[in-house]
Amino acid sequence: MSQRAGGVAADAPSDTAAARGLGPFAATFLVAGNMIGSGVFLLPASLAAIGSASVIGWAVASVGGLVLALVFALLGIMRPDVNGLVRYPADGLHPIFGFVSWISYWVASWVGNVAIAIAAVGYLAVFLPGLIGPVATLVTTLVIIWALVAANLWGPRVVVWLAASTLMVGLIPILAAIGLGVLHFDPDIFWGSWNVSGQPLSKVVPGSLVMIFWAFMGLESASVAAAAVDNPRRNLPIAALGGVALASLVYTTATAAVMGVIPAERLAASTAPFADMVAIAAGPIAGAVVAACALAKTLGTLGGWVLVAAEAGRVGAASGYLPKALSTRGVRATPVRDILLVAVLMSLAALATLSPTLTKQFNALINASVLLILLVYILCALALARFASGIENPARRWVTRLIGLVAAAFCVWMIVASL
């Protein structure tokens, strides 16, 4: 189901593996590059209701993300499978959990797509402020969704070109926030916004984790490195941990930088936090450039994920999880029916989550999407614990089983803490 391919398990470097030529350093950046995207663009505004104490949440989420990345690295080594998010729970636990994993991932994909579209509206509003408002935001969101749907119907090459052409552009807002944030960081603003709610941090921080984990969605792509690294048994865990750690550092630093320049009260009302922060530090023109880059990246990301959601639907139909009449047959054919189904569902989700403010709607969407993905992660982590029984070495068997159980427990804790 996943768009990322698994690798080939090996106990020692083979001739094929040696030819791959990717060591742990290059593979680390591969994993980090797969993670760092548009997910963080609106998060500082969402986290403003918590305050700059959310950096603690970033640290906790990073630890959990590292454990989960290791889970998928080990799964990629032990059982390479392009549809691993469905096959792992089905093979390791029970076939019914394959369905649960698929439906959770599929729904999370198109619900999350609406959140990406909302983020695009927020940055577009830098140039067209009249787009902010429940009805205007809804209409613009629908226009963006159906424009990217039309691009997908035109053909996958259009979507691939859009995603590729905006890949590096998406780094500009994040890097600009980090660079300018270091120069203009105001400790008084940061500490003045430390704990906005006034509630105990023991309650505030756990409650922020699901929201923060929106930026970590896609960490399962760590398993893609298994097909590209030399000696995956040794290097893949290094790449998975290093990649997630690098992405976590970038995310945390960028968020802290924004919160050290914009007070929480003002940040909470922002629809384009990175653009607003850069505008304060370097002027409105620089802010507009950053807004344009963020907008381009969100559109590129959305185009790709519409296709991913459609392909996930096609896999579900082929597996008997969806009526085949709703899906396009033929692996090489453009999944027209699947794309249109996803488009209708995304439109309904945008309408159902209509809120007084853009940030509130964004929060509702990402919370739903992350909770569903966490369920997938739990099932995959438990599957790893079951697969560990096939490891001959007792120490490796118990360590692998412990990693799976700890990762599952962390996800359960995050879900409970969000309630």
Q: What is the pLDDT of residues 205-256, one digit of tens each?
A: 998 999 999 999 878 876 655 666 777 778 788 888 888 898 899 999 999 9
Smallest CA-to-CA distance from 36 within 235, 301, 237, 276 is with 301
Kindly give the parts of the chain with pLDDT less than 70: 1-22, 34, 82, 222-228, 330-332
How many helices (H) and strands (E) are present in the chain, helices listed first? 18, 0
**C-alpha 91 chain-centroid distance:** 25
pTM of the model: 0.88
pLDDT of residue 17: 37
Q: What does the pLDDT look like over 383-406, one tens digit per residue?
A: 999 999 988 899 999 999 999 999
Residue identified by tokens 């959140």 is: 115
Distant-in-sequence, close-in-space partners of 1: CB < 8 Å, separation ≥ 6: 83, 84, 85, 86, 102, 105, 106, 311, 312, 315, 316
pLDDT of residue 294: 94
